Structure 1
Amino acid sequence: MMHSLFERNQRNQNRSYHYTPIARAVGLSMLLAAACANAEDAGGGAETDAALEVVDTVVVSGSRSKAAKSRVKDVPGNISVITSDELERGRKSTLGDVLAYQPGVFAESVGGNDAIKISIRGSGIISGVGVFREGIKFLFDGMPISGPGGTSYEFLNAQGTAYTEVLRGGNAFSYGALAIGGAVNFVTHTGYTAPGTRVRFEAGSWGLQKTTISHGGVSGDWDYYFNLDNYESDGYRERWSRSESKGLVANVGYRFSPKLSARALLRYREEYHQDPGYLTLTQLYQDPRQPAAANINASSGTRPGSYWGGFKISYIFDDDATLEVGLNTYKYPHINSRETRTGQPGYWRWIDNSQSIRYSRTDQWAGHESRTEVSYNGTEENVGQARAVQGSDNSIVVSKRTFKKSHDRSLAVGNDFAITPDLWLTSGLAFTSLRRTTEYSYHATNANPPSADYQSYNWVPRLGLRYSVTPDVQVFGNITRQIDPPLNWRYSIVNRTNTLLDLKEQKANTFEIGVRGQVGIASGSLVLFRTNVKRDLLTVVDEEETALQGGVIQTRTFNSESPTRRQGVELALDLRLWSGDDGSQVVWRNSYTWNDFRFVRDPRLGNNRLPGLPSQVYDGKVQYDHPSGFYGNLNVRARTHVPIDYTNSAHAPGYAVWGATFGYEAPDRSWNAYLDFKNLADRKYVATSSTIYDAAGNRDRQNYAPGDGFGMFAGVEYRF
């Protein structure tokens, strides 16, 4: 009895600790909201039923793209669209800035560079910072940048984009059903969406400077757009966290006729960033700005010159059916840890070629509207090479391997059928083909290194319903099968056994229900999902490989023998707390995610939580907008604690950090400026953590990446 009472008290203490950051953040946000609501009551002159723009989880300001709005309402699942206008109201240095306030999306930057940790609904949970992204398919204008080797991160900054689509889970069905997390599609500005010249300059703490120049225009049937940017920062961590990058975004389009148009697109980027590594909790709380000793002059990422080029042609048939064909190529060389003299720098070279075809049409079947889409998405790895070296001058070759002929292919047919004008049935079926090859041509410690050639074929069905309760409120649900293959470079040699890791694709079934729309002063969405996963791809720290790399943390991947379950709640809620006769307003914006990712009856781990992601995430802000163009907000980011091991014996602590933003946008939109404050209390906290199998209850391990301290950033943009 005494033992049980002690365990119950300990659990209660832990539960209180887990929820404290979220509870405090939401509580203080509610106090601010209540104060604003009281101000509205006292004013008495505000029109409480004034028109409120319906967001439908679409993050926009100003006029909204009709296509983006239609995309949300036509999908029986949780998707959102983020426009560039919203992002201009504050710092937008990384993908973490772009994807803020997106429930179900975890995007955390730990160095101010593009190498962030990102996950949607637990996808890519195995990935840390500074490596290729997986579990999410990234695209430019519907054409992929993700391939069999994953997604290199240098282009993941939304540079030159008009808006960004976030399609969670199986709702990315038409883009290829090969990612459990779904897809992120960056839609590029054109001469039509961004005419004229724009000059933007941002500067702030830790030497951050970013300059962007863009110009677009239309001349007859031609239109064009280009965007140049240069970014540099010393980073929050001292001595070894510098980032530098520069790039070009350009496209040119031509309309041959009202029915036929074409566009050529180009992106180029160079990037270098230093990786300061992980700290122990003691080190982090003593001095979070210090780098890990083993990482100094040893761990970095270099992208000497990556380019992505695409060509897209669209044709509208006489019956209004449309055909889009896209071809693109992506070359992305990179160097890992080029400075190290104790580890093994890696020189990698990749070239992917992709094809995308999409045919859509609308018909009438017995008086019922039917919308059909047939799509093909394929990516072949034309070149994939990796070379590891060592020695004082990096002249000793340790290994050479290739990944040529790996591919991802998906052929899908989808249909939306109007049972009634308000009730729609969504159905779809995809056939997927994947191949992963790894061939060692040389390995210093293995005379006969192994090779792998894994192929798999799968059927992927999808079924959904959406019903418009009122013109402004919609309920929806879907069941979708998902396939998520391992990255080809994860088939690495296990030195102890001279064998390659035996990895297979994950298979998952996702169930999703939700509601979205507007009722009175409230607008947003509430979604519940559950994903049952077989052969979940997970990772742990590889102690042997870490030693070979001079102490720089290395990981190894494996398929879980037991099934896992990922379920959660995604809430996006905007509340208009106050509105004035002059058009001013106060809006309380909320983004809340509850995650429950765990094993299911594992023989050793039971129903333990999967490590790496917090169970609760809250982002909120109370914002005031004045019709003259002035605006300001107080914002908060809060996370509960995170297990760092599969036994759940140790956790990274949760946190809540506050910020504030003030700015002005001229009514004619000719210029805007902002002042953005991050981490007002200069709190020391853990942003992300690496994963080990069993911490044996020792929380003070070298597994923690500190978040940035207090920072101040300013920006100004002029439009001509």
Structure 2
Amino acid sequence: MLVVSLLPSAAAAAPRAQSDAATPVPEQATVEDVVVRGAADEALKAAEKLEKIPGGASLVTSEEIERGRVSNPADILSREPGVFAQSTSGGEAIRLSIRGSGIQRSPLNYLAGVSVLLDGIPITTSTGVPWELVEPLAANHITILRGANAFEFGAKSLGGAIDYVSHTGYDSQPFQARAEAGSFGYWRGQVSSGEVIGPFDYYISASGFRQDGYRAHSEASSVRFVANLGYKVSDDIDTRFFFRFAHEYFQVPNTISWAQLQADPRQAAAAALNNSWYKVLPYSEFIGNKTRLRFNDMSALEFAFAFKRFPQSGAGGPFVRWDASDISASLKYTRSDDLGGHTSNTTLSALSSTALDTNLRLEGWPGFFPAMKNALINYVNLAGSDVVVLGSNDFELTSKLWLTTGIALSYSPRTSEFIYPISSKLTKDYLNYAPRAGLRYYLTPDVQLFGNVSRSVEPPTNWSFPKILFPTAQLGNLNLKEQTAWTAEGGLKGKFGPAKWEFAYYHSWIDNELLTVTLPGTALTATTNATATRHQGVELSLDTLLWRSKAGGAEPDADSREALTQSEGVEPGQQLVLRQTYTWNDFHYRNDPIYRDNRLPSIPVHFYKAELEYRHRLGFYAGLNVESNFISYPVDYANSLFSRPYAILGARIGYLQPKQVDSPFQWEAYLEGRNLANVKYAAVVNPTFNANGRDAAVFYPGDGVGIYGGVTLRY
């Protein structure tokens, strides 16, 4: 059985801390470490890498992903501290923010404010993130690097980065099938296969999703294909090709008022029904390669490239046609040295992403300039690129104290060429820097104290520039500046006795924060730079082993024990475990001439999730969970209208069949209920400038009570 610890490791991060500790840590009952079935090498490497980051970071394994409904990435990401991830209508369009970055961006546009990667290759472009390319069920693990702790990926956003690392032939089964079904016409299925054949290995996954939706006019469907093919040239050279294809369709029920939500949360906005708002993402593509060369035990070189195409079309206000493609490349050199008995790990990287052919076309649609139905309103060619060069070093000052330093230089040109209704061209170049320094100190081999000071730089996406509807009507700021922030962070993570935790406090001083509002009654957004703002918060995760009994009878063999372990590593016997995450978000203006010190809208201030789970050694588990927004938070910049607090309850039971020595088959199943009290609440809000204290149509209702179940078969 291979154990992957998400905690500070003496072996991985401070090799001599164990011997230098004043007193050894006594063995006692502890929350178990994460167990990864199959080839856990990639998850193990990721865990060890996270241990060396002096700041907030999380790892989610495939076992955690597969233990419940996977309707969209929010089902997984919302469990992590510091992450706000909610579906707007139960489907795959989500609002995603980390530490407040990008929270005001429309959930119906390309995501911004957080860098997203597939197998370490960025899919974030100058246009944003084509989130339809993400398939959580194909991931071996997911790493979440909060804030400037995502420095290695270019320090290009305040929010940080999320990396979905795919299964390969080394950690998958020759055959696996999964089916989920439940309330509101929900269905998701996946079939996958992976094997190692000599120096080759492959992994392939095909998945489909559909729902009728909780709300009227919220039908959605998608099809995804994910594959990779690896070839090991020698012990020192390997290469892997990646392929992804996605097709997605979803209706847009749009936002409603609080009074409408309380009267009937299943209703859609009248404008959405009258104009049949919807979006189609017809054939998003991703083709990439990553090749590694190991020169010796001390140094290695890695280079990668990817081509992405991600068009969109749909009706809602105007009819919108996007055509976007991008090519990216990266080069990374890593080296480890011994300098006078002190370990020094150095990384030098260059990353680039360039838009190839991106344009936006708006056409008339009923309800939006009806006299111009099907007529061209606006046509814009968009261009942009991001180039980052960075260097970092992790240096062992003493056996218990490590210093991390780095500097990144970025260049991000943006171009918006207006073709119709007028001809003009806007070009902006953004050249900036992002330094970083951090310390981590091992109080004990299992407890780490950390702190860092970092700078982040986020240029606007090319779609953030104005949309010209008529020669006299412009939406947005012609002179958008990049968003920059200095962030100080400190915290403590580790395990002791029956508890495992991570605590982080951060404070960000932000200039020119990119804030966006969706204009009422349209699908258009306007982006502007704010005056000085401040983000600060607390991120806490705490796992506690409340009770454990010893198993009677014979000790299971290693294979059976591994199969019985669930995601937290269950020893033979029974356990009662409490898992909790809490996030405090305190985001404000600083002396704005209009909004003074108002709170920035659209994200909960106090957000808490917890699950109490019983686990049996024979594979059965059952638990209760709660999600709560403790207090009201504003939905407009004037802080005159608020979204209400809520608490929703859920329950889950499941079974993972122990592996049988004489059988190649294994199956698992789950059944879960969500929002069991059928609470009427707002999951997401679209901010407005000033509601003047009156109810406004800015709320996306959360789903009502729902029951879901799933079965997975492995061979």
Normalising by structure 1, we get a TM-score of 0.88
Match of 1:368 among 328, 342, 346: 342
Query: In 2, distance between residues paired with 1:690 and 1:105?
Result: 18
1:154 deviation in Å? 1.0
Q: Is the 8 A contact 1:93 1:157 kept in 2?
A: no
Are residue 621 (structure 1) and residue 611 (structure 2) matched? yes
1:319 deviation in Å? 4.1
Q: Is the 8 A contact 1:54 1:523 kept in 2?
A: no
Q: Is the 8 A contact 2:353 2:385 kept in 1?
A: yes
Counterpart code for 1:596: D
- What is the count of residue pairs matched by the alignment? 652
RMSD: 1.8
Query: In 2, distance between residues paired with 1:449 and 1:390?
Result: 20
Q: Is the 8 A contact 1:679 1:711 kept in 2?
A: yes
Counterpart code for 2:403: L
2:562 corresponds in structure 1 to: none
Are residue 390 (structure 1) and residue 364 (structure 2) matched? yes
Query: In 2, distance between residues paired with 1:183 and 1:391?
Result: 37
1:391 deviation in Å? 5.4
SS at match of 2:259: helix
Q: Is the 8 A contact 1:620 1:637 kept in 2?
A: yes
1:318 deviation in Å? 2.1
1:50 deviation in Å? 2.7
After TM superposition, the structure 1 = structure 2 runs for residues 558-569 of structure 1, keeping only pairs within 5 Å, are 558-560=528-530, 562-569=531-538
2:502 corresponds in structure 1 to: 525
Q: Is the 8 A contact 1:452 1:500 kept in 2?
A: no
Partner deviation per Cα, 1:632-667 (whole Å, 9 max, x = no partner) = 110011113220111111101111100000000011
2:563 corresponds in structure 1 to: none
Question: CA 1:670–1:499 in structure 2 vs 1: closer, same or farther (change >3 Å)?
Answer: closer
1:473 corresponds in structure 2 to: 447
Question: CA 1:334–1:497 in structure 2 vs 1: closer, same or farther (change >3 Å)?
Answer: closer
1:493 deviation in Å? 3.6
2:260 corresponds in structure 1 to: 283
2:684 corresponds in structure 1 to: 688
Q: Is the 8 A contact 1:624 1:632 kept in 2?
A: yes
2:186 corresponds in structure 1 to: 208
1:539 deviation in Å? 2.1
Are residue 712 (structure 1) and residue 701 (structure 2) matched? no
Are residue 505 (structure 1) and residue 495 (structure 2) matched? no
Q: Is the 8 A contact 1:48 1:579 kept in 2?
A: no
Query: In 2, distance between residues paired with 1:61 and 1:526?
Result: 28
Are residue 577 (structure 1) and residue 546 (structure 2) matched? yes
1:377 deviation in Å? 1.3
1:663 corresponds in structure 2 to: 654
Match of 2:516 among 539, 542, 547: 539
Query: In 1, distance between residues paired with 2:518 and 2:617?
Result: 53
Query: In 2, distance between residues paired with 1:299 and 1:48?
Result: 60
1:105 deviation in Å? 0.1
SS at match of 1:85: helix
Counterpart code for 1:556: A
1:11 corresponds in structure 2 to: none
Are residue 605 (structure 1) and residue 595 (structure 2) matched? yes
After TM superposition, the structure 1 = structure 2 runs for residues 84-103 of structure 1, keeping only pairs within 5 Å, are 84-103=62-81
Query: In 2, distance between residues paired with 1:564 and 1:370?
Result: 37
Unmatched 5+ stretches in structure 2? 1-25, 367-371, 552-572, 660-664
Match of 2:132 among 154, 160, 180: 154
SS at match of 2:678: coil
After TM superposition, the structure 1 = structure 2 runs for residues 13-32 of structure 1, keeping only pairs within 5 Å, are none
Question: CA 1:499–1:513 in structure 2 vs 1: closer, same or farther (change >3 Å)?
Answer: closer
Counterpart code for 1:552: T
SS at match of 2:45: helix
Counterpart code for 1:634: L
Q: Is the 8 A contact 1:541 1:693 kept in 2?
A: no
Query: In 1, distance between residues paired with 2:128 and 2:63?
Result: 29
Counterpart code for 2:409: F
Match of 1:52 among 9, 12, 31: 31
Query: In 1, distance between residues paired with 2:625 and 2:675?
Result: 10
1:704 deviation in Å? 0.7
Choose 164-173 or 395-404, whichever is displaced more: 395-404
Counterpart code for 1:705: Y
Match of 1:344 among 286, 311, 318: 318
Unmatched 5+ stretches in structure 1? 1-46
1:100 deviation in Å? 2.8
1:54 deviation in Å? 4.3
Q: Is the 8 A contact 2:258 2:696 kept in 1?
A: yes
Question: CA 1:61–1:222 in structure 2 vs 1: closer, same or farther (change >3 Å)?
Answer: closer
Match of 1:293 among 261, 270, 286: 270
Question: CA 1:319–1:580 in structure 2 vs 1: closer, same or farther (change >3 Å)?
Answer: closer
1:51 deviation in Å? 4.5
Partner deviation per Cα, 1:656-714 (whole Å, 9 max, x = no partner) = 1000000000111811000010000011111111111111111x211111000000000
Are residue 515 (structure 1) and residue 492 (structure 2) matched? yes
1:524 deviation in Å? 1.4
Match of 2:527 among 547, 554, 557: 557
Q: Is the 8 A contact 1:345 1:394 kept in 2?
A: no
1:410 deviation in Å? 0.6
2:624 corresponds in structure 1 to: 634
Match of 1:266 among 238, 243, 252: 243
Query: In 2, distance between residues paired with 1:526 and 1:134?
Result: 26
Query: In 2, distance between residues paired with 1:394 and 1:633?
Result: 53
1:407 corresponds in structure 2 to: 385
Query: In 2, distance between residues paired with 1:124 and 1:305?
Result: 26
1:125 deviation in Å? 1.6
SS at match of 1:206: coil
Counterpart code for 2:676: L
SS at match of 1:89: coil
Q: Is the 8 A contact 1:631 1:663 kept in 2?
A: yes
Moved >6 Å (runs of 4+)? 59-64
Choose 138-147 or 315-324, whichever is displaced more: 315-324
SS at match of 2:324: strand
Counterpart code for 1:660: A
1:488 corresponds in structure 2 to: 462
Match of 1:250 among 213, 227, 233: 227
1:217 deviation in Å? 0.3
Q: Is the 8 A contact 2:220 2:249 kept in 1?
A: yes
Q: Is the 8 A contact 1:281 1:701 kept in 2?
A: yes
Among all aligned residue pairs of Structure 1 and Structure 2, give the percentage whose two residues are the same amino acid: 38
Query: In 2, distance between residues paired with 1:171 and 1:195?
Result: 33
Partner deviation per Cα, 1:7-53 (whole Å, 9 max, x = no partner) = xxxxxxxxxxxxxxxxxxxxxxxxxxxxxxxxxxxxxxxx9933432
Query: In 1, distance between residues paired with 2:473 and 2:703?
Result: 41
After TM superposition, the structure 1 = structure 2 runs for residues 187-206 of structure 1, keeping only pairs within 5 Å, are 187-206=165-184
Query: In 2, distance between residues paired with 1:246 and 1:706?
Result: 26
Match of 2:671 among 646, 650, 675: 675
Counterpart code for 1:671: W
Normalising by structure 2, we get a TM-score of 0.89
Are residue 354 (structure 1) and residue 331 (structure 2) matched? no
Partner deviation per Cα, 1:306-348 (whole Å, 9 max, x = no partner) = 01110110011124311110010100111032xx6xx320111
Choose 59-68 or 500-509, whichever is displaced more: 59-68
Q: Is the 8 A contact 1:60 1:86 kept in 2?
A: no
1:394 deviation in Å? 5.7
Query: In 2, distance between residues paired with 1:688 and 1:161?
Result: 26
